[in-house]
Amino acid sequence: MKKLLSILLALIMLLTLAACTGKSAVSAPADTTQQSLAMMFPQKTGDTRSAEEQASNEDAADAEKPVINWSWGTTLSDKTEPSVVAMQDMADELKEKTNGRFTLTLYIGASLGSESEMMDMLRTNTLTMLATNITNLPTYEDEFSIFALPYLFHSQADFLDYTNAKEGTKLTELYQKLEDDYNIRSLAVEVNGTRCLTTKGVKQITSPSDLKGVKIRSMEAQVWQDVITALGGTPIPVSFSELYMALQTGVVNGQDNPISVTYANKLYEVADYIYRTDHCYNTSMWLINPDAYDALDEEDRALFDSLVEKYIHGQYRDEMGAYTEKAVADIESSGCQIIDSSEFDIQAFYDNAAQLIDEKYMTNDAYAPFIQEIRERYHY
């Protein structure tokens, strides 16, 4: 018994000595409770400012940047037309994301003047952006005339690829010349439909020959008069602003425009037939003053470019199809008949167009290189 007590006393002394020297054969367990709390509620090491302080500083940063007031003009008067809707939505987001510092004001319905007058305003930066048709540009560079030629492109995809290319084509060289000589820059090109022939007071046609002697409205440029002649009619130059009255009074008996444009401007009210000739892709072309664009800082330019992609190449393209479908339904319910190409000799229109291009435009040194490039690029 005494021996057992001695052994126990010795063990107690040994353990006491180990504790005093801080040595142990087994490490003590960590304080896991404290570690868990640290993981659940980590200490902030970044921006510890309140949301109000951060917003205030962002507002102050915006206030230090220049106020930008841009403007966009168009002859379109329908507020529901997709390009007008897209531009208004773009203007709203631009204003919101810059806290009202960057604004874009829309002027529709030719409220700033005719298209040629707005083009002059664009060149001097009195107007920042303009919606137009690429075929209105021959006034400045005649080679743009080729985009009026009937059936030059075989698909909308090819047309958009060519007109929106940024480098490496004869068209991009022409865009640069337009900017260098006239201070006008191409921003974006989209399609608002294909041009279709409409007539009033003329019996239903089945071929171009049925339009012999029929007065069809044309734009001033020679290429547009050539197109009307190829369609079979007699071209009569009339400004777009006077077109409705000219059709109503019989100054002309027809015109050609996309169904979307015919609908937006109520030209179907003065038409009996719309023929799906689909002879030319009609463009919605956004032009911009290069001085205004180049003056943007890197952040504003990135924002603006992203909104161009979102609203012009995105929303506008998506909504134009739906708008055209509605236009077709409303036009047909009005009594104006839309005639499908299966109901007339569309091949005769193709043949007339090919003859015009090959005999007049492929023999012209200014136009031929563009036409040849398009044919080779898209394997026509």
- pLDDT tens per residue across span 144-203: 999 999 999 999 999 999 999 999 999 999 999 999 999 999 999 999 999 999 999 999
The boundaries of the domain holding residue 83 are: 66-377
Query: What percentage of the chain carries pLDDT values higher than 70?
Result: 83
Number of domains present in the structure of the chain = 1
Half-sphere exposure of 264 (CA within 13 A, CB side): 24
Q: From CA 326, how far away is CA 222, in angstroms rounded?
A: 33
Residues 317, 286 contacting (CB under 8 angstroms): no
How far from the centroid of its chain's Cα atoms is residue 32's Cα? 59
Is 31 a residue whose pLDDT tops 50?
A: no
Q: From CA 66, how far away is CA 84, in angstroms rounded?
A: 27
- Would you say residue 279 lies in a domain? yes
Residues 281, 155 contacting (CB under 8 angstroms): no
- Would you say residue 43 lies in a domain? no
Residue for token pair 């002309």: 252
- Would you say residue 195 lies in a domain? yes
- Would you say residue 21 lies in a domain? no
CA neighbor of 274 nearest in space, from 261, 256, 252: 256
Give the pLDDT of residue 235: 98
Q: From CA 275, how far away is CA 337, in angstroms rounded?
A: 8
**CA torsion through residues 125, 129, 134, 136, sign:** negative
- Would you say residue 276 lies in a domain? yes
Q: Describe the crossing of helices 317-334 and 82-97 by its angle, rounded to 10 degrees.
A: 140
- Would you say residue 299 lies in a domain? yes
Q: From CA 271, how far away is CA 269, in angstroms rounded?
A: 6
Is 130 a residue whose pLDDT tops 90?
A: yes
Tokens of 327: 């236009």
pTM: 0.79
Give the pLDDT of residue 78: 84
CATH of the domain at 95: 3.40.190.170
Is 59 a residue whose pLDDT tops 90?
A: no
Give the pLDDT of residue 62: 60
Is 46 a residue whose pLDDT tops 60?
A: no
- Would you say residue 17 lies in a domain? no
Give the pLDDT of residue 53: 58
Would strands 185-199 and 102-107 be described as parallel, antiparallel, or unpaired?
Answer: unpaired
Residues 277, 342 contacting (CB under 8 angstroms): no
Query: What's the whole-number mean pLDDT along residues 60-66?
Result: 72
CA neighbor of 319 nearest in space, from 91, 164, 88: 88
- Would you say residue 13 lies in a domain? no
CA neighbor of 280 nearest in space, from 218, 325, 331: 218
Give the pLDDT of residue 241: 85
Q: From CA 371, how far away is CA 152, in angstroms rounded?
A: 8
Is 61 a residue whose pLDDT tops 90?
A: no
Structure-model confidence comparison of residues 241 and 262, the more confident one: 262
- Structure confidence at residue 311 as a pLDDT band (50, 70, 90): very high
